[in-house]
Amino acid sequence: MSGRAMPKQDRNNSKQDYATPAPFIAAALARLRINRFNFDFAADASNHKAAKYWTEKDNALNKTPAEWAKACRGGWGWLNPPFKDIAPWAAACAAAEDQGAHIAFLVPASVGANWFVDSIHHRALVLGLNGRLDFIPGNHFPKDCMLCLFGPTISPGFDVWCWK
């Protein structure tokens, strides 16, 4: 073990509403061959990635899978959820997929987490991101991330995506 100490972290007291970087959104749209996302499931007026979105007040996790699918309106939904509790968001994506939704889900690459095993593995196409994201300009996020693609027309699997 090196002599460096890990910075103190408090997942219950950290900012949870960072906007997804615009260059990454542009790359995701190009990868999906679409012009826009039809809906953003966890956003606010300052960070939404679709014209229509649910805010914290709307409480996306209290919506039914059918409501999530309807929100996509036959296109793709976007989800960069709060990272402090990913499990219910992952489960909501899987349930919405069962109702016909297509959702792009950006999260830390935590393949050993129960939420990954329960809701993503063998359900979504997982794209491990090669190239760190800068949620704060000029400051790389300290963890690897992955983009999980849910949808009835998506074949589950894993790939590494050099998105830059």
Within 10 A of 51 (CB to CB), how many other CB atoms are there? 10
Q: Is 0.85 surpassed by the pTM of this model?
A: yes
Within a domain: residue 72? yes
Within a domain: residue 2? no
- Residue 66's domain comprises 25-108+121-144
pLDDT tens digits, one per residue of 78-137: 999 998 899 999 999 999 999 999 999 999 999 999 999 999 999 999 999 999 898 878
Within a domain: residue 46? yes
- Distance (Å, whole) CA 137 – CA 160: 23
- Distance (Å, whole) CA 153 – CA 162: 23
Number of domains in the chain: 1
> Does the pLDDT of residue 5 top 90, yes or no?
no
pLDDT of 37 reads 98
Collapsing DSSP to helix, strand or coil, 114 comes out as helix
pLDDT of 125 reads 98
From start to end of the chain, where are the E strands? 39-40, 76-79, 102-108, 125-130, 145-150, 157-162
pLDDT tens digits, one per residue of 20-69: 999 999 999 999 999 999 999 999 999 999 999 999 999 999 999 999 99
Within a domain: residue 45? yes
pLDDT band at 14 (very low <50, low <70, confident <90, very high): low
